Amino acid sequence: MRLLKIEWLKLKKYRTFYILTGLFLLVYILFNVAVNQGAFNITSTNAQGVNMNVVNSDYSFPKVWGNMAYYYGWCIIFICVLVITLIANDYRYKTQRQHIIDGQSRMDYLHSKVVLVLGINVALTLLYTLLCLVFGYINGGGHVLSGTKNIAYVFLYGLNYLSFAALLALLIKRSGLAIVLLMAFVLFEELVVWLLDKFVKIDIAKFSPLDCSDGLLVKPLDGMGKMILGGSKTSSEFMIMIVMSFVWVLIYYFIARLRMQKADL
Q: What is the DSSP string of 112-180?
A: HHHHHHHHHHHHHHHHHHHHHHHHHHHH-BS-TTTTTHHHHHHHHHHHHHHHHHHHHHHHH--HHHHHH
pLDDT in tens, 192-248: 999 998 898 888 999 999 999 999 998 887 654 454 555 567 889 999 999 999 999
pLDDT in tens, 48-70: 444 556 677 889 999 999 999 99
* Predicted pLDDT at 141: 75
> For the chain, what is the largest distance between any 2 Cα atoms, rounded to a whole number of angstroms?
73
Confidence of residue 14 (pLDDT cuts 50, 70, 90): very high
Beta-strand pair 43-45/51-53: antiparallel
Q: What is the mean pLDDT of residues 78-103?
A: 90
Confidence of residue 258 (pLDDT cuts 50, 70, 90): very high
Note whether 81 and 160 are within 8 A (CB): no
Evaluate if residue 261 carries a pLDDT over 50.
yes
> Among positive and negative, which fits the CA dihedral 226, 228, 234, 240?
negative
Evaluate if residue 76 carries a pLDDT over 80.
yes
Note whether 82 and 165 are within 8 A (CB): no
| Cα–Cα distance, 238 to 23 (Å, whole number) | 31
Bridge partners of residue 143, in order along the sequence = none
Percent of the chain surpassing pLDDT 70: 89
Share the mean pLDDT of the chain: 89
pLDDT in tens, 170-207: 999 999 999 999 999 999 999 999 999 889 888 899 99
* Predicted pLDDT at 50: 47
Into how many domains does the chain fold? 1
Give the 3-state secondary structure of residue 229.
Answer: coil
| Residues contacting residue 152 through CB under 8 Å, at least 6 positions apart | none
Confidence of residue 263 (pLDDT cuts 50, 70, 90): confident
Note whether 49 and 17 are within 8 A (CB): no
Residue of 171, 180, 19 whose CA lies nearest to 88? 171
Residue-number span of the structural domain to which 249 is assigned: 2-262
pLDDT in tens, 127-152: 999 999 999 999 987 888 888 999 99
Burial bucket for residue 187 (CB in 10 Å: 0-12, 13-18, 19+): exposed
Least confident of 13-22, 72-81, 212-221: 212-221
Confidence of residue 74 (pLDDT cuts 50, 70, 90): very high
Torsion (CA) 140, 121, 83, 240 in degrees, nearest 10: -100
Note whether 56 and 225 are within 8 A (CB): yes
| Cα–Cα distance, 238 to 217 (Å, whole number) | 10
* Predicted pLDDT at 65: 95
* b (16+ CB within 10 A) / e for 220-258: bbbbbbeeeeeeeeeeeebebbbebbeebbeebbeebbe
* Predicted pLDDT at 226: 52
Percent of the chain surpassing pLDDT 90: 66
